[in-house]
Structure 1
Amino acid sequence: MPYVDVFADEDDEEPLFATEFDFLPHKGEFLALEIDAELLHLEVVEVWHRQDEDDGAFHACIRIETN
């Protein structure tokens, strides 16, 4: 299961959070996140992979927008 770094803004250098998915989300998909009994709908607007400078491994990243 891939770990994915989740970003809210394209200029962010650090992710909002990292989480594990059963699948890699695709651009245009919607994710539901429950916070304090409120359901947020998040749209995946960008998907990319970045390379870690320390170990050279690639990490999946997505950028989301709240709808």
Structure 2
Amino acid sequence: MAQVEIYDGEGDQLLFTGGFDFLPRVGESIARDADGYFHYYEVIDVWHREEPEAGRFQPCLAVKIID
């Protein structure tokens, strides 16, 4: 299970991290339970950030809130 970093739509503020069996694609939605209330996000960008010290790439998503 890959740990994925989820960023706001601008890609500059980390909102949360999550374990995914597969990487969500652009246009798909993520529903996250926060205090018994679901927050829905649309994936608007996907990229992989290199972590040279660890010798791996970190998957990242940018999302926008769906009201």
* TM-score bracket, shorter-length normalisation: 0.7 to 0.9
TM-score normalised by L of structure 1? 0.84
Q: Flag as ranges the 4+ runs of structure 1 deviating above 6 A.
A: none
Superposed CA RMSD: 1.5
Structure 1 regions of 5+ residues with no counterpart?
A: none
Q: Which runs of 5+ in 2 are unaligned?
A: none
Percent identical: 36
For each residue in 1:26-50, what CA deviation from the matched residue of structure 2 results, as whole angstroms up to 9, or x when unmatched? 0000011111221111100100001
Answer yes or no: is 1:46 the counterpart of 2:45. yes
Normalized against structure 2, the TM-score is what?
Answer: 0.84
Structure with the higher strand share, 1 or 2: 2
